[in-house]
Amino acid sequence: MVENRPFLTVLSHLVMILGVVIVAFPVWMTFVASTHDQATMLRAPIPLLPGTHLIENYRQVLTAGYNQGNGGIPILTTLMNSLIMALGVAIGKIAISIIAAFAVVYFRFPLRMVFFWAIFVTLMLPVEVRIVPTYGVVAALGMLNSYAGLIIPIIASATATFLFRQFFLSVPDELTEASRVDGASPMRFFWDILLPMSRTSIAALFVIQFIYGWNQYLWPLLITTKESFYTIVMNVSRQANVADAAPQWNLLMAMAMLAMLPPVLVVIFMQRQFVRGLVETEK
């Protein structure tokens, strides 16, 4: 700091602590609610400190599910579906974008710029906006209620392709020349030189896309009608809005905790890659 102003420093800490408390409060209350029994959750004021039913509640939602309205499915199944979707989206996006960027940067071929712009314009129309016709296409292809239907339609991404293109452009030409002199094929160059060099970009992108895939809501809501394909995020919101019934808050909140935990842990433990990913995907 430029000068010592104890009052301002204390004020800064106070503001930060207040900010952190407000930001964390909803999650704290969610956690607290997930540790009480059903009866405690029926009358206001609900306690501010955790209760004793933590294991029981989580065991019930994980194995038996939250059954209200429609028959409950074990949350373990929805967690698995979310994991498959998140990994599928993250890996799929990275895989198809990195090879497309490789082609656009390292080759000269007719229609190159047409392809580049075709990828670019996908930025212009978020999936929420073209949801009705995209649903029609997926239905026509018979991809409703399938992992392919959950994953493939949302893996086309201009941002990932741009990120890799930007990175490849910064790779020194000498490396390409050297491997050509040594007689390496383009794919050999890609696997042995480019891919290892892209490790940090891939990690950063993976974190962002994992969260993106895990948190998908509208898409799985529309294309899954079979419970065995439900993802956790859509299931939480679905159960919160069952008509004509007050939710069993303790179980619902245990589910919400489980829905938040994986992506939040990814952000906290991979914070460096996360921040890098956020900044880079915005370029």
Partner 1 sequence: MEKRVTFNERWLPYLLVAPQIVVTLVFFFWPSAQMIWQSTLLEDAFGGNTKFVGFDNFVSLFNDSAYFASARLTITFSFLVAAIGLAVSLLLAVMADRVIRGATIYKTFLVWPYAVAPAVAGVLWGFLFNPSVGTVAWLLHNVGIDFNYVTNGNQALLLIVIAAVWNQVSYNFLFFLAGLQSIPRSLIEAAAIDGAGPSRRFWDIIFPLLSPTGFFLLVVNIIYAFFGTFGVVDALTKGGPAKATEILVFKVYNDGFRGQDLGGSSAQSVILMVVVILLTIVQFRFIERRVHY
Binding segment for partner 1 among 50-58, 73-81, 192-200, 252-260 (CB under 8 A)? 252-260
Q: Which amino acid is at 183?
A: G
- 241: contact with partner 1 by CB under 8 A: yes
- 282: contact with partner 1 by CB under 8 A: yes
CB of 71 to partner 1, least distance (A): 20
Nearer to partner 1, 13 or 226 (CB): 13
Query: What is the three-class DSSP state of 70?
Result: strand
Site for partner 1 in 220-239 (CB under 8 A): 221-222, 233-234, 236-237
Binding segment for partner 1 among 57-65, 71-79, 129-137, 191-199 (CB under 8 A)? 129-137
CB of 54 to partner 1, least distance (A): 17
Site for partner 1 in 22-51 (CB under 8 A): 23-27, 29-30, 33, 41-46, 48
- 133: contact with partner 1 by CB under 8 A: yes
Binding segment for partner 1 among 52-60, 62-70, 72-80, 137-145 (CB under 8 A)? 137-145
Tokens matching residue 26:
């909803």
Instruction: Rule CB under 8 A: choose which of 6, 39, 52, 126 binds partner 1.
Output: 126
- 162: contact with partner 1 by CB under 8 A: no
Q: Which amino acid is at 90?
A: A
Tokens matching residue 43:
């009358």
Torsion of CA 6, 10, 13, 19, to 10 degrees: -140
Q: Say if residues 232 and 78 touch (Cβ distance below 8 Å).
A: yes
Q: Say if residues 34 and 57 touch (Cβ distance below 8 Å).
A: yes
Q: Which amino acid is at 131?
A: I
**Look-up of token digits 């490849």:** 168
Tokens matching residue 133:
């016709």
Q: How far apart are CA 217 and CA 233, in angstroms?
A: 6
Q: How far apart are CA 217 and CA 234, in angstroms?
A: 5
- 281: contact with partner 1 by CB under 8 A: no
Tokens matching residue 44:
């206001």
Q: What does the chain come to in residues?
A: 283
Instruction: Rule CB under 8 A: choose which of 249, 254, 273, 280 binds partner 1.
Output: 249
CB of 109 to partner 1, least distance (A): 5
Q: How far apart are CA 47 and CA 49, in angstroms?
A: 6
- 6: contact with partner 1 by CB under 8 A: no
- 83: contact with partner 1 by CB under 8 A: no
Nearer to partner 1, 172 or 196 (CB): 172
- 113: contact with partner 1 by CB under 8 A: no
- 139: contact with partner 1 by CB under 8 A: no
Q: How far apart are CA 194 and CA 199, in angstroms?
A: 9
